[in-house]
Structure 1
Amino acid sequence: MIGSLSCIVIDCPDPRKLAPFYEELLGLARVEDGEDWVTLGDIGQPPRVALQQTANFMRPDWQTSTVPQQMHLDILVENLDVAQSAVLGLGASLLEGSDKPIGYRVYADPAGHPFCLVTREGLS
């Protein structure tokens, strides 16, 4: 092993605006709160998720890759329908064409970053 995951950094136009979405989605607390950088996690316990302000942020286009998604998170859930209701309530959107596969669905966070909700059967 060369190292261990310390932090996932997500570019976005407004870290403070996007932070509540990931706090609720991942059950993380805000451990650093700046205007252009917000860190979520447990103090001293990696991995963390950081949101970084990017002046020229371009919303990813999941279907055409005109603007590539660059990265995405897979979030393991017990029930897709229950989890979908929760993330939609937080401001996520279901991406067109992603509701067909069994075991996972693809969404965009409020800033447009794709992420997947997956169940155990979707991992195989």
Structure 2
Amino acid sequence: MGSPISLHATVLGAPDPQRLARFYANLLGWELGDDEREWATVVNPGGGPKLSFQLEEDFQRPVWPEQPGRQQMMMHLDLKVADLQKAAAHAKECGATRAEHQPQEDVIVFFDPAGHPFCLFEN
């Protein structure tokens, strides 16, 4: 028996939702959906849940790895890629920043323009 609940979107807080939506649309090859100052979305052309961005006026960039007393990440995105080095180069071209701390050899951690960490990994 199925659940009456389904995932519609993952929402990230951001100081500039439109900028972050454009970053992820470019990074993932997705399409822009809503494009307002306070709310923006990217839509997977293949279907499935959206990625949305909500304005947070008092947004504090998370630190990673975590540090006591500092804003910690609440979540991160895991992005599967076919070629890790090619995907890492693409992420940098899109405006991502490679994290200094890399805890695994087969995963590359980046930060989006708002500072949310995301991980690239091969299948």
TM-score, structure 2 normalization: 0.88
Contact residue 80 and residue 117 of structure 1 kept, 8 A: yes
What is the match of residue 95 of structure 2? 91
Per-residue CA deviation, residues 17-61 of structure 1 (Å, 9 max, x unaligned), is: 112110012221112111110011158x44001111100100010
Give the number of equivalent residue pairs. 118
**1:17 match: secondary structure:** helix
Per-residue CA deviation, residues 37-89 of structure 1 (Å, 9 max, x unaligned), is: 0011158x440011111001000101134211101100000111111111011
| Structure 2 unaligned spans of 5+ | none
> For 1:104, which of 103, 107, 118 is the aligned residue?
107
**1:71 match: secondary structure:** coil
What is the match of residue 51 of structure 1? 53
| Structure 1 unaligned spans of 5+ | none
What is the match of residue 6 of structure 2? 4
Larger mean Cα displacement after TM superposition, 63-72 or 111-120:
63-72
> CA 1:42/1:63 → structure 2, altered by over 3 Å: closer, same or farther?
closer
TM-score, structure 1 normalization: 0.87
CA-atom RMSD in angstroms = 1.6
